[in-house]
Amino acid sequence: MRRPQAPSEIARLVTPVARVLDAAWRRMHWWLAAMVVFYALSGIRVVKPGEVAVVLRWGHVVGGTHGPGAMYALPWPIDEVVRAPIKQVSELRIDTLRDAGYGGSLDPVKEGYALTGDHNIVHVQILAHYRVRDPVAWAFYGPYPDDVLRTEVSSAMVRSLGEMGVDRVLSDGRKELITTATRRAQAGLDAAHSGIELTGLELTRLAPPVAVAREFDAVQSAFIGAETAKKQAQAYAQTAVPAAQAEANQAIQSAHGEAASARARAESDARAFVALAEQVRQNPVVVRERLYREAVEHAIGRANMRWVPPPAGARYSDFRIELERVPAGGGGEAADEPSRQPDGRPAQQPPGED
């Protein structure tokens, strides 16, 4: 009969540990079961209104997108749920082209700047407004795709500035600059499959370097003055041109009226002359005498004098007629005195006259 061997040193050390583990298992196995249940329930997620959820299982999209409400995904690290705020417009400040405040050193390591098409330096600070358009593509960049957005917007702005002159950039070309840069930045984001849509770019600062800011301000002031003078000239032209046109039309109408009046007078004089010529052909002596007397009476009447014609049939060389000036009012003693010859005798009165 063999005698029992003494327990080895290893068995003597393991036995107490086994007893402790056995006692712990008997008391805490239900805690482990509860932890497993809680781990399984951790896959329940709630998607808020205005969001959609994308499930990534070991880095691959599964199940498409999930709208607002409760959903279930396998616990981490198997599944990763990425929430995309599709209705929220976010902002990102881009300072890669801005001066860092080192006194205008223009050190490309410390300062950010861009070159215009005519090789002038400008500093730009941009505020990008964006939202998530494609949640699946956006999920691969994570909820903060700042790097890709900052890179694409900065690249688009540098390229757009390089196609414009500095005077246009700092004056009336800012709107065109923003439109062109936004279009190019969006094309870059689409090519990178970022899932981001730019809703707008805002230039919070667009200025030349500090060292030449005064000169640029002078150019800007001169440009504004030229535009103001141009608008004033256009406003004056809008009032002066219609006034001149109206005056010209009035002058034309007046000229037409004067021409018609002069033509009527000329036609009337022509008809009177033709009638007089016909009278001369019929009775030249009477007409000549009448014309002579009318002409003399007209000439002397303008001089305020009285003219006594010679008797009919008398020879003009046999008479000498003295004409006395008649006062403007007419009448008076001078008007009642008879005409006299140079020797003082009364002038012969024509028959039938007192």
Residue by residue, pLDDT tens for the chain (354 residues) are 455 554 566 766 777 777 777 776 666 666 677 777 777 777 777 778 877 887 877 777 777 777 777 777 777 777 777 777 878 888 999 988 887 665 556 666 677 888 888 888 888 999 999 988 888 877 776 556 788 899 999 999 999 999 998 888 877 888 999 999 999 999 999 888 888 899 999 998 888 887 777 777 787 788 788 889 999 999 999 999 899 999 999 999 999 999 999 999 999 999 988 888 888 888 888 888 888 778 777 777 666 666 566 655 555 554 444 555 555 554 444 444 444 444 444 444 444 443
Whether 228 and 252 share a structural domain: yes
Whether 150 and 200 share a structural domain: yes
- Domain extent at residue 319: 289-336
The amino acid occupying position 125 is Q
**Cross-strand partners of 289:** none
The reported pLDDT for the residue numbered 154 is: 92
Residues 6+ apart with CB under 8 A from 40: 75
Whether 96 and 202 share a structural domain: yes
Structure tokens at 296: 């003399």
Domain assignment of residue 293, yes or no = yes
- Residue after which a domain boundary falls, among 154, 178, 208: 208
Reduced 3-state DSSP string for 68-90: CEEEECCCCCCEEEEEECCCCCE
Domain assignment of residue 150, yes or no = yes
CA angle, residues 31, 32, 33, in degrees to nearest 5 = 90
- Residue after which a domain boundary falls, among 208, 232, 260: 208
b/e code 303-322 from CB counts within 10 Å (16+ = b): eeeeeeeeeeeeeeeeeeee
Domain assignment of residue 48, yes or no = yes
The reported pLDDT for the residue numbered 229 is: 93
Domain assignment of residue 353, yes or no = no
Domain assignment of residue 351, yes or no = no
DSSP 197-227: EEEEEEEEEEE--GGGHHHHHHHHHHHHHHH
Whether 73 and 9 share a structural domain: yes
**Into how many domains does the chain fold?**
4
Domain assignment of residue 347, yes or no = no
Whether 200 and 241 share a structural domain: no
Report how far residue 241's alpha carbon sits from residue 149's, in angstroms, rounded to the nearest whole number: 54
Query: How far are the Cα atoms of 30, 102, 124, 127, 334 from residue 109, in angstroms, in the given order?
Result: 62, 11, 16, 22, 120
Domain assignment of residue 352, yes or no = no
DSSP type of residue 27: H
Domain assignment of residue 213, yes or no = no
The reported pLDDT for the residue numbered 153 is: 93
Whether 305 and 239 share a structural domain: no
